[in-house]
Chain A
Amino acid sequence: MLQPLIYDIGSPGRMGVNLPECDVPKVELPAALLRQELALPEVGEVQVVRHFVKLSKLNYSIDQGLYPLGSCTMKYNPKINEDAARLPGFAQLHPLTDESGSQGALFLMRELQKWLGEISGFEAVSLSPAAGAQGEFAGILMIRQYHIDRGEGQRDLILVPNSAHGTNPATVTMAGMHVHELPSDDQGNLDTSALRAACEGELRDRIAGMMITVPSTLGLFETTIREVIATVHEAGGLMYMDGANMNALMAAVKPGALGFDVMHYNLHKTFSTPHGGGGPGSGAVGVNEKLAPYLPGPIVEIVEGGDLPRPTPSPGPFPSELGKGSPPTISPPSLLGGDTGGGETTEPPLYGFVMPEKSIGRMKAFHGNFGMHLRAYAYIRVYGDSGIRDVTRFAVLNANYLRAKLMETYIVPYPRYCGHEFVLEGHFEDADDIHALDISKRLMDYGFHPPTNYFPLIVPEALLIEPTETETKADLDEFVEAMESIAEEARRDPELLRKAPLTAPVRRLDEVRAAKELVLCCAPALPR
């Protein structure tokens, strides 16, 4: 089922458009600027369309079915997000348009900053980081600069639990700091005695902060989180929350109110912006008042007329369709601080980009991934206050339902209520040499995307399962049936699992060879 590359189809001279006769003198490009090795595909429109439609049919996406990839929150992405993102007033807005010509977009970004701040209990938010890992990087750079400004630049250690996402230690290293790893206890919580030993021992004056995921990567709420936060704060460190698992907390727990100083949001997880095919992602960061001056910029503020009551967005600063006719009928989510009401007659305020006073700088060109801000805005706006709360409730309910069902067939190492995801062990006492990977590959034959494999590292043969809130009970039951059937096959016909997938476009891939022989360019794309 291997497909040709687009370079391998078509023929010399074929093209998809007919250009008009050239009406200016033809000038050859200087030979020195021409690169022969960069071949261009020579194909007609129909060939291009068929090529990519064929490829798309080999793909698996959330629009086809359950995608229980733990830690990734592969929820259904509502199509109204796409409608919003395609409104010409947004879609055709040039990133270099000056502020007077982009007030609608700036208004939207500021609203989103406020709503994200409200959802997580933070003072200020920057939307600029392009993905979760970049949000982490921004957060740790802020913590570092905070200590330097207080004359405590010797604080170079970040505490990281051994259950952490791999990006956490990577972020610490990228930011020029050092990781001090902490173990977990037998309940899957952070080992608080190891934490106290680190915070009260000789390392105390070197502790810059801690990065922790809540709920943890095991899907478990850290029941000692208040104690953990207090212990790190007492040692002079700041608390970073990895917001990857916010889908278990929204409208239920505010990390800022718990005492966290900074966290990142994954708009592409929690707030339903597209997550496959490169996204792109969006890793906004929220901070309390201690770190607000250090936020990466630019952020959107009211730069003129800020003391005036704000008018309804319609028909004033809002661009295109959204500004036409009556204001949106969905009331602004009250909890989320939408203050669009009022209908004042005063001049609208002027929104502008500002760099926070001691900003760590820019994370990205222009204004972050604005298309994702739009979609996240639409998502929050559509759900509103109570809807967002339901998202969390159903995400947690779905995960616990699956966990309870699958506990009958699989080892669940931490059999307590989980958040939005949980871990199974993908092996059986009485089925020799069956591994998590075999179970995952076999799931593909049942029409499901596999869960996350071998993460978190502290669970042997881990299968990390996150159904999200967008699946019905019937969908979940089908998945349970498939998992039960696979468990039975593991005993009856283990070869079936070892050979899986049998029905995918390609069979079992050679992961070892793929990791060792990094050949990233297909031969036919090279000069012909």
Chain B
Amino acid sequence: MGEWKTRADLRYAETDEWFAVDGDVVTIGITDYAQDQLNDIVYVEFRDAGDALKAGESFGEVESVKAASELYSAVAGEIIEVNTALEDSPETVNADPFGAGWMVKIQASEQSALAGLMDAAAYDAYCDSR
């Protein structure tokens, strides 16, 4: 299949979100593999800052010319910031999925779920197998 990038400092979910941990704050986006599979992203919608999330709950959705997909947070906590710039320029997710294409920041109430996520090597292997 195609070629995609991963970043060694991130954790990855089977549902193709990445998680960056900085103290209690976890930033979430979708992977390069996911944006490549989705093709041109035309619409994003996130829940609001202040909303509480359970682990595994959806924090929004992303829509491309091919498909609409739910976005899931592996960690529980409160959404403290939403990347509202993406609403006007969703193509940023395609261009820079690990950088400017970040989606939400969560004040995590517990981080144990992160241990169950994949590291970059495991996620690479997982994508390869699909």
Q: Which residue of B lies closest to A453 (CB)?
A: B66
Interface-central residue, B42, B66, B67, B91, by most chain A CB under 10 Å: B66
How distant is the Cα of A516 from the Cα of B130 in the complex, in angstroms?
30
How distant is the Cα of A460 from the Cα of B38 in the complex, in angstroms?
10
Check if B1 sits within 8 Å of A511, measured CB to CB.
no
Residue A457 at the chain B interface, CB threshold 8 Å:
yes
Check if A512 sits within 8 Å of B40, measured CB to CB.
yes
Count of residues in B whose CB is under 8 Å from the partner chain: 13
Residues of chain B within 8 A of A453, CB atoms compared: 66
Check if A454 sits within 8 Å of B42, measured CB to CB.
no
Tell me what chain A mostly uses at the interface: helix, strand, loop, or mixed. mixed
How distant is the Cα of A460 from the Cα of B130 in the complex, in angstroms?
9
How distant is the Cα of A454 from the Cα of B66 in the complex, in angstroms?
6
Count of residues in A whose CB is under 8 Å from the partner chain: 9
Check if B43 sits within 8 Å of A454, measured CB to CB.
no
Residue B112 at the chain A interface, CB threshold 8 Å:
no
Task: Give A454 Cβ to nearest chain B Cβ, in Å.
Answer: 4
B40: contacting residue among A166, A460, A511, CB under 8 A: A511
How distant is the Cα of A515 from the Cα of B62 in the complex, in angstroms?
13
B42: contacting residue among A166, A457, A460, A516, CB under 8 A: A516
Residues of chain A within 8 A of B84, CB atoms compared: none
Residues of chain A within 8 A of B42, CB atoms compared: 512, 515-516
Please encode chain B, from 112 to 130, with 1 for each CB lying within 8 Å of some chain A CB and 0 for all others.
Answer: 0000000000000000001
A460: contacting residue among B37, B63, B65, CB under 8 A: B37
Interface-central residue, B43, B63, B65, by most chain A CB under 10 Å: B65
Given A460-B1, A516-B42, are A511 and B37 also a contact pair (CB < 8 Å)? Answer: no
Please encode chain A, from 428 to 472, with 1 for each CB lying within 8 Å of some chain B CB and 0 for all others.
Answer: 000000000000000000000000011001001000000000000
Residues of chain A within 8 A of B90, CB atoms compared: 516
Please encode chain A, from 141 to 167, with 1 for each CB lying within 8 Å of some chain B CB and 0 for all others.
Answer: 000000000000000000000000010
Residues of chain A within 8 A of B65, CB atoms compared: 511-512, 515
A454: contacting residue among B63, B67, B91, CB under 8 A: B67
Check if A515 sits within 8 Å of B43, measured CB to CB.
yes
How distant is the Cα of A166 from the Cα of B66 in the complex, in angstroms?
12
How distant is the Cα of A454 from the Cα of B68 in the complex, in angstroms?
12
Task: Give A28 Cβ to nearest chain B Cβ, in Å.
Answer: 47
Please encode chain B, from 53 to 77, with 1 for each CB lying within 8 Å of some chain A CB and 0 for all others.
Answer: 0000000000101111000000000
Residues of A in contact with B (beta carbons under 8 Å apart): 166, 453-454, 457, 460, 511-512, 515-516
11 contacts between A and B (CB under 8 A): A453-B66, A454-B67, A457-B66, A457-B67, A460-B1, A511-B40, A512-B40, A515-B42, A515-B43, A516-B42, A516-B90
What are the 10 closest A-B residue pairs judged by CB atoms, nearest first?
Answer: A515-B42, A454-B66, A512-B40, A511-B65, A516-B42, A457-B67, A512-B42, A515-B65, A512-B65, A460-B1
Residues of B in contact with A (beta carbons under 8 Å apart): 1, 37, 40, 42-43, 63, 65-68, 90-91, 130
12 extra interface residue pairs, beta carbon distance < 8 Å, beyond A512-B65, A515-B43, A516-B42: A166-B68, A453-B66, A454-B67, A457-B67, A460-B37, A460-B130, A511-B40, A515-B42, A515-B63, A515-B65, A516-B43, A516-B90
